[in-house]
Chain A
Amino acid sequence: MKRRSFLPLVAAALTLTAVTPALAEYPERPIEMIVPWGAGGGTDAVGRIFAQMLQQELGKPVNVVNRTGGSGVVGHTAISRARPDGYTIGVVTIEIDMMHWQGLTQLTHEDFDFLAMVNADPGGLMVAEDAPWKTAAELRDAMKSEAPGTLKASGTGQGGIWHLNMLGWMLSEDIPLQNVAWVPSQGASAGLTDMVAGGVQLVPSSLAEGRALIDAGRVRALASMSDEPQAMFPDAPPLKEATGSDWKLSVWRTIAAPKGMPDDVRAKLTAAIQKAYESKEYQDFMTERGFGLRWAGPEDTTRIVAEDDATLGAIMKEAGLAK
């Protein structure tokens, strides 16, 4: 008896909740911003500053939710599986172009609706201050001539983005891939510490990550994997200038949503994101923390992400890292 009278009630409640969003203007409740990496890291910092700026733009709280683990698979999956109603967005990082090649997930960049690219950091090349190589060209020659396994590099986990950065460069210079052994580490700072202690010889992470040690005179920046030298590291020439290689890699962060968002919501979000990006607060924050600024709208972002997917996939297949 009781159940029978209860069911229509539930049905009524369900239709009510289903109808309300269409009536009110987006956003009418807090927005969740999923960050697939741990609190305290670079992606988290970008996510949090953006959440704060968007909150000002949209007038509703934007809460950062860290969903970490599995090299980003957990968080990216959470973003893609959320309802595409504009109340869940997330920071999608370059790892989305790597994880499916590794066979970790079916998820690819095609499962997302990219709203904007808000940051990109070029890869770099760093050695210890007391290392014998003064330029990237000298290091390249050593990598070619030394016996395999003599030189070691570190900066991310096995098959991580900086590992791929090094492999991509080596392929472009025709250096046999087995010549340099990769020592997996928990992030660039662990790799840099190990390099200073003498455990490894080079770290191909972004120069920003080595800023403290470069400033302290313990680490030398040899090159930047970008077209132009970076403002903060004028002594590190672009790779093309240093060795003649065409290899380039930037690690980017995008704001994305699950596929299938309504157009009006999409337009509103994109406009808010662009405004947030252009704000002085965001620009100052990024410069202070040493993050690279890079803007791309929805179409450009989607294109860059797809291009990098192909590039990284090719390297991973070549290196035997793809499944």
Chain B
Amino acid sequence: MRLGDRALGLLTLLGGVALFLASMQFSPLPGQKYGAETLPEVVAVMAIVLGLVMLVQGLRHESGMALVEITDWARDGGTWAKLAAATVLIAVYCVVLDRVGFTISSLVLVAIMLWLTRTRPILILPIAVVTVLVVQFAFGRMLLVPLPRGELLSLPW
């Protein structure tokens, strides 16, 4: 999936306009000319100009080409499914981490990831267990990173 200059330019332009509108709610510092609105507005103007330039360039050089170039992998539904699965997996991990605790949620995460990368099933559990325990020990125990203990089934560390 690769956006051409026209598509990307249009996106940048729209993003810039949205950013500018959103920045108008901010006000300068009392007694000053500039303030919280300055940086976002400058960035917004930059994005708008950049978007326009890309649009013009794209219209000039990309005539006859597709707006979005579909690369090989993007035609394969399985790849999309894998990508979505990995994203959703990490998102779910974030949601449950505090509740379930680091050990169990990480175990599940690594195991499913290994399954997604088609590791031999017999290896999945040993690798996941060793990895999680090593990480838990190195970061949680030795480096005192406050990895969530979880509310159920938490280990004595």
- Chain A residues near B (Cβ < 8 Å): 10, 13-14, 17, 32, 63, 65, 148-149, 158, 178, 181, 320
A17-B154, A158-B29, A178-B31 known; 10 other A-B pairs, CB under 8 Å?
A10-B152, A13-B152, A13-B153, A14-B151, A14-B152, A17-B151, A32-B146, A63-B144, A65-B146, A148-B31
Contact B153 A181 (CB under 8 A): no
Residue of B nearest to A149 (CB): B31
- Chain B residues near A (Cβ < 8 Å): 29-31, 144, 146, 151-154
CA distance A17 to B100 in the complex (A): 13
Residue in A17, A149, A181, A320 whose CB lies within 8 Å of B152? A17
Min CB distance A30 to B, Å, is 9
Beyond A178-B31, A320-B30, whether A63 also contacts B154 by CB under 8 A is no
CA distance A63 to B141 in the complex (A): 11
Contact A63 B146 (CB under 8 A): yes
Min CB distance B96 to A, Å, is 14
- B-chain residues with CB within 8 Å of residue A178 when the two chains form the complex: 31
Residue of A nearest to B150 (CB): A17
Q: Could you list some 9 contacts between A and B, CB below 8 A?
A: A13-B152, A14-B152, A17-B151, A17-B152, A65-B146, A148-B31, A149-B31, A178-B31, A181-B31
- B-chain residues with CB within 8 Å of residue A181 when the two chains form the complex: 31
Min CB distance B25 to A, Å, is 13
CA distance A65 to B149 in the complex (A): 14
CA distance A63 to B29 in the complex (A): 40
Residue of B nearest to A13 (CB): B152
Min CB distance A32 to B, Å, is 6
User: Top 9 nearest A-B pairs by Cβ distance?
Assistant: A65-B146, A13-B152, A63-B144, A178-B31, A13-B153, A320-B30, A14-B152, A32-B146, A63-B146
CA distance A14 to B151 in the complex (A): 8
- B-chain residues with CB within 8 Å of residue A10 when the two chains form the complex: 152
Residue of B nearest to A65 (CB): B146
Min CB distance A164 to B, Å, is 14
Residue of B nearest to A34 (CB): B146
Min CB distance B135 to A, Å, is 18
CA distance A10 to B31 in the complex (A): 61
